């Protein structure tokens, strides 16, 4: 007879890369795409809060902002619910796609080595959700 082991949710013990990248193409020129990073609270050392549709809330500190390179860097200060990774840092880069006047966006995240596969996979979905909302907002909600 085979012994049945009770199912218990546990964190992943599989070693994973702590570097995660997602990309997309925005349906606007780079000039329009960079408007969301200009002025107001989006300055160096500014604290920005992002709320995701799954109820998660992240508080970020802007650590880099380049108008010339069309990039933004950040450090995650806190998350609700609490994240299992000790440190999360990220960068967003925009590049002009000249043949059709759109913008290529990449979002890279580096985690401390205590992040597991669940954390990395969750970040993938949060980025995909963000790209979809950004495209919708940049194209006038269509």
The CATH number of residue 28's host domain is 3.30.530.20
Q: Is residue 54 part of a domain?
A: yes
Residue 36, φ and ψ in degrees, nearest 5: -75, -5
What is d(CA 119, CA 47) in angstroms, rounded to the nearest whole number? Answer: 22
Q: Is residue 7 part of a domain?
A: no
Candidates 31, 33, 83, 39; CA nearest to 62 is 39
% of residues, the chain, pLDDT over 70: 85
Q: Is residue 13 part of a domain?
A: no
Q: Is residue 14 part of a domain?
A: no
Range of the domain at 35: 19-138
Q: Considering only residues 15 and 136, tell me which one the structure prediction assigns the higher pLDDT.
A: 136
- pLDDT, tens digit, 9 for 90 and up, residues 52-98: 888 989 999 999 998 899 999 999 999 998 887 888 999 999 999 99
Q: Is residue 10 part of a domain?
A: no
Q: Is residue 77 part of a domain?
A: yes
Output the DSSP codes for 31-73. Answer: HHHGGGGSSTT-STT-EEEEE-TTS-EEEEEEEEEETTTTEEE
- pLDDT, tens digit, 9 for 90 and up, residues 5-58: 776 655 556 655 688 999 999 999 998 888 755 555 557 888 999 888 889 899
Q: Is residue 125 part of a domain?
A: yes
Q: Number of folded domains in the chain? A: 1
Q: Is residue 1 part of a domain?
A: no
């Amino acid at each position: 007879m085979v012994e049945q082991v009770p199912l218990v949710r546990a964190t992943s013990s599989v070693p994973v890369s702590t570097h995660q990248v997602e990309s997309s193409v925005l349906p606007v020129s780079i000039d329009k795409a960079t408007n969301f990073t200009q002025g107001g609270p989006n300055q160096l050392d500014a604290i920005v809060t992002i709320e995701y549709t799954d109820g998660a809330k992240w508080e970020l500190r802007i650590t880099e902002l380049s108008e010339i390179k069309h990039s933004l860097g950040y450090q995650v200060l806190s998350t609700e619910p609490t994240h299992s990774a000790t440190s999360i840092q990220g960068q967003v880069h925009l590049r002009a796609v000249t043949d059709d006047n759109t913008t290529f966006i990449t979002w890279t995240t580096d985690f401390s080595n205590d992040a597991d596969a669940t954390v990395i996979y969750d970040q993938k979905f949060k980025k995909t959700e963000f790209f979809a909302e950004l495209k919708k907002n940049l194209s006038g909600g269509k």
